[in-house]
Amino acid sequence: MLHTAKPRKLALAIALITAPTSYFMPSYAQAASASPEVNIGGAVRLNYGWRDYDNDSNGKFEIELFRIDADVSQDKWYLDAQFRWYQDFDAIHHAEVGYKVDENNTVIAGVTQVPFGIAPYASNSFWFTGAYYVGLEDDYDTGVKWQTKGDGWNADLAYFFNAEYDDGARYSRYSFDIASTDERANREDGQVNGRIQYQLGNHTVGASAQLGKFINSQSQDKGDHWAAGAHYVGIFGSWKVSGQLMQYDYDTEESLGTADHRIALSAFEFPFDIAAKATLSNLNIAKTFTYNNDLVDSITCYNEVTLIDPNDRSGLAESIQNVTGCAIAKGGLYTYVDWIAGKNMWFVGGPGVGIEQGPERWRSRLNINIGYYF
């Protein structure tokens, strides 16, 4: 008995060690578990830029971006994340975890896109519309979101605790958020968003609403901000027409640093002022030409114009941005050729958005972006 017991114990130990993991799992866990599907992608982009208000007559050609995308799905769960490295800084673009309750409902948490305006964004160009530069297009914040859809309609409801980085003094970010500067030490402090869209044939109409607070770190006072918008997208054969009308409003108080009807935003390493209250209108027209040959799959040409009109004109002035260009696609290779013209407009020689820059004049720049997306 003594001699036979030891080999039996040894055999049992070996069997347990070599048994598959599923041997120890409850039957319900085995049924619920599925192997995750993992996809890794990314992009590399080169950029040439020439500005008529710069001393460099040759322009600048450089590596603009390297990014990594991760997409993981398992059962009803998924992960979608993207991180970006630019020339001078790196930043999160988005990082969200989602649960697909059923075919019509999804719950999302993390750094996710703010539902406001045309989904996923209004622009056809690399440059985006003027709404992007006041934080109302392709913005990403940290919170929770519910997406639902029915027969011809879809809706989003979200609460955001703060911007993607809960630090108004961090300017190295992709999204345009409230910034903390020496004059205006503010940051975002909670925000509710809702959007509904209805599609009838080739036409989509929608409405968006946003209500939130911001806090001043010097006075500890809180201010309110809100935005509302109506939007439309129409497809007419190879033509696409889209338009937006928006109103945004930030509280203007001495204790918030906004008594001069300005508030600071930041992105891409720089803070700048925008008009605290303004009406934004945007109209985009695009046409797609399909080729499907060895060199080109399609070319989409467009014109996008945005007018931002401050509601108070004390030291403020309307900003205009017009982007004319074409996007050339071949497989994973996308090339944007854009001519950007603007007046009182950030990134086109202006001091901010809605901020008077002295003698009014148009400024322009040529931008060519070549990217391979994999």
Q: Model confidence over 250-260: pLDDT tens digits?
A: 999 999 999 99
pLDDT at residue 361, rounded to an integer? 81
Residue with tokens 């009838």: 200
Task: Note the pTM of the prediction, 2 decimals.
Answer: 0.89
Which of 16-20, 193-197, 339-343 shows the lowest mean pLDDT across its residues?
16-20
Does 15 score more than 70 pLDDT?
no
Backbone angles phi, psi at 199, to 5 degrees: -110, 125
pLDDT at residue 358, rounded to an integer? 76
Which stretch, 12-26, 294-308, 350-364, has highest mean pLDDT?
294-308
Residue range 120-135: mean pLDDT, rounded = 97
Residue range 154-172: mean pLDDT, rounded = 97
3-state secondary structure the chain: CHHHHHHHHHHHHHHHHHCCHHHCCCHHHHHHCCCCEEEEEEEEEEEEEEECCCCCCCCEEEEEEEEEEEEEEECCEEEEEEEEEECCCEEEEEEEEEEEEECCEEEEEEEEECCCCCCCCCCCCCCCCHHHHHCCCCCEEEEEEEEEECCCEEEEEEEEEEECCCCCCCCCCCCCEECECCCCEEEEEEEEEEEEEEEECCEEEEEEEEEEEEEECCCCCEEEEEEEEEEEEEEECCEEEEEEEEEEEECCCHHHCCCCCEEEEEECCEEEEEECEEEEEEEEEEEEEECCCCCCCEEEEEEEEEEEEECCCCCECCEEEEEEEEEEEECCEEEEEEEEEEECECCCCCCEECECCCCCCCEEEEEEEEEEEC
Which of 150-154, 187-191, 264-268, 310-314 shows the lowest mean pLDDT across its residues?
310-314
pLDDT at residue 326, rounded to an integer? 98
Per cent of the chain over pLDDT 90 is: 86
pLDDT at residue 140, rounded to an integer? 98
Q: CB–CB of 323/339 below 8 Å?
A: yes
Does 13 score more than 60 pLDDT?
no
Does 31 score more than 50 pLDDT?
no
pLDDT at residue 9, rounded to an integer? 35
Q: CB–CB of 307/328 below 8 Å?
A: no
- Residues in contact with 195: Cβ distance below 8 Å, sequence separation at least 6, in sequence order: 115, 116, 117, 119, 155, 156, 206, 207, 208, 209
pLDDT at residue 312, rounded to an integer? 86
> Per-residue confidence at 57, pLDDT binned at 50, 70, 90?
confident
